[in-house]
Amino acid sequence: MRKLLIASYIIFSIGFVLKFLHIHYNAILMLAALALMLIVNVISLFNKQNRFNALIHFGVWTWLVVLLISIKFFNFANIALILAVAVSFLAFFMAYTNKKLIKLIPIIIVMIIALVFFNMPTDQKYYLLSIKWNSEIKTDYQSLDKYSWFLYQNNKYEEALDISNQAMDIAIKAENDEWTEFIIKHNKAIAKKNWKHFR
């Protein structure tokens, strides 16, 4: 079981790093790792001797879920956060009761990382995850268009329009009529300040 847990943490970490590099299938790797962790932890919870360690790892799992939801910009991050806090409180209580507070270190580390991304402004987060180290950014009009959306949401209208113009130019050069029309619509919405939905 321990080897499976270690393997799942490694797989999640690889997926997380690949997300920064804008390499495809990073979310699949992270989801697979979380599924493996969950299975191992549920099995371990039924073993009385491993129950405390399983709870610690389950606490780590909940914060990794918060992290994944945050970096994928899903809408139900608050639910995951409540679950993570609840499990962490339970783990803290058991660690305090058993005088094993040092066991909480993995939860605390992952919690800090998850909360940093959870609280980061969406435009900064998207830039960090999908723009900064994206080796294809000079031709990636889709990512630039989405980046303009997050900038717009955070009232950075001039930056949003500038990025949208870049995305439009690239899409026109790529001769992708569908995306060009899509970006032009967004571009006009930014200029008029009435962009309601990304799609």
Asked if 180 contacts 142 with a C-beta cutoff of 8 angstroms, the reply is no
Helices (H) and strands (E) in the chain, counts: 9, 0
The pLDDT of residue 1 is above 80: no
Percent share of the chain, pLDDT over 70: 100
pLDDT tens by residue, 166-198? 999 999 999 999 999 999 999 999 999 999 988
pLDDT tens profile 74-95? 888 899 999 999 999 999 999 9
pLDDT at 19 over 90: yes
The pLDDT value given to residue 44: 85
Q: At what angle do helices 105-119 and 51-71 cross, to 10 degrees?
A: 20
Give yes or no for a contact between 95 and 74, defined as CB atoms under 8 angstroms apart: no
The token pair at 145 is 């268009």
d(CA 81, CA 13): 20
DSSP 104: G
